[in-house]
Amino acid sequence: MATVVHDLKNALGVLVQELASLQSAAADSSLAPGVSHAHGIASQLSGKLIAFLTLYRAQSGGLVAAPRDHNPDDFLNEVAAGLVLPQSALRIRLELAQSSPPFWFFDAYLVGLALEAAVQNATRFAHSQILLRARAEDSWLVLSVEDDGPGLGTEGAVSTGLGTELCRAIASAHVNARKTGKVVLANSARGGACFELWLP
């Protein structure tokens, strides 16, 4: 199954590239909105296949984080720049806290996958914006994705499925000084849902 999904992911990757080229070529035509929408959907599907393969590796005991030092604020900027949102009305906002550390050791590829999954989940419920933040708390780096939707526990607002399992697997792959990464889901003080990835 993993081999089939890998082949599908590669084929879909080619489609994403072709749609990106068409998007540039059709920028000033009436086709632009449709091509842009198709590119967004294909990118989401590609992301889901990558998430599936990563989760498969985790459940097979093969997911190992390769931490390197990264500046959390720079990392969040890179994640935000690479996101494809399904709704043009939604905006990504970065909130860079003073408590954000100058560097932290984590696997940027895996953590990027986790944040992308959290953002994709947030797009299902956000009204107008999604907030990305980084902060240090005790001996943890906390990366959060917060939406301005109805919050957890409301009808239709659930954070389960492939994305959540992927995030938990990625958190668990980060271990330092006998502490293991974790995922926290809660309602934010602003009313929406808040996903937090805690990295030791």
The confidence score (pLDDT) of residue 143 equals: 96
The model's pTM is 0.76
Q: What is the mean pLDDT of the chain?
A: 84
- Average the pLDDT over each of 110-114, 119-123, 172-176, 196-200 and give the range with the smallest value: 119-123
Answer whether residue 108 shows pLDDT above 80: yes
Answer whether residue 183 shows pLDDT above 80: yes
Q: Cα(78)–Cα(199) distance, rounded to whole angstroms?
A: 18
* Exposed / middle / buried, residue 126 (Cβ in 10 Å: 0-12, 13-18, 19+): buried
In sequence order, what are the beta bridge partners of 68?
Answer: 106
- Average the pLDDT over each of 45-59, 107-121, 125-139, 180-194 and give the range with the smallest value: 45-59
| CA pseudo-torsion sign 82, 41, 19, 56 | positive
